[in-house]
Amino acid sequence: MAIIVDDSEKVLLNEGEVQPKKHISTEESLWYLDNGVSNHMTGVRSHFKEINEAISGRVRFGDGSYVEIKGRGSILFECKNQEQMIIFDVYCISNLKNNMLSLGQLTEIRCKVVMEGNRLLIYNHRRNLLFKVERSKNMLYNVRLKISTPACLLANIDDEAWMWHTRLGHLNFDSIKDMT
């Protein structure tokens, strides 16, 4: 690889010790947080809450190789505080061996990314902490995320007042009482 600093100087980078296959993960819950990747992407089709398979194209990697995009959709994660978080615009790339979250894409949705020391902190737009990740020995940030499924809370309503509250668009209980 060559980086041109100016017309008279060329800097050559040669990393003979880099072994990409050593860092391939088969763990589906492991996600790499990366500032160099332009889009969120995964090779695990079952992660998607919804996907538009009409979206296609190619992603080019730093070594010049390409992989085909098989769709784009959203993935629902379960946070440690039991809340759910949706990540939109995730590419489905069937040959991808690692899951990637783009820090740039996270900042586009008003997340705040803070790097200090060997720690990476990501806050949502309400400034609630989403991720606190320690840098690994190979200088990467990765996090294990639990893929969630949407919960239908209405299926568990036993109280008739709550059922009508929901059916009537979350009408206040005094109004429901007046109606009865």
To the question of pTM greater than 0.95 for the whole model, the response is no
**Residue 150 above 50 pLDDT?**
yes
Structure confidence at residue 9 (pLDDT): 43
Strand partners, 32: 100, 142
d(CA 114, CA 40): 19
Dihedral, CA of residue 4, residue 5, residue 7 and residue 11, to nearest 10? -60
Residue 152 pLDDT class (50, 70, 90 cuts): low
Show Cβ contacts of residue 176 under 8 Å, excluding neighbours closer than 6 positions: 161, 164, 165, 168
- Separation of first and last alpha carbons in the chain: 75
pLDDT tens digits, 1-10: 334 334 444 4
More confidently predicted of 80 and 112: 112
What is the predicted pLDDT for the residue at 16?
Answer: 46
Tokens of 59: 């992603």
Q: What domains are defined for the chain? A: 25-149 (2.40.70)
Q: How confident is the model at residue 159 (pLDDT cuts 50, 70, 90)?
A: low
| Mean model confidence pLDDT for the chain | 79
Percent of the chain with pLDDT over 90: 38
Q: How far, in Å, CA of 75 to CA of 57, rounded?
A: 20
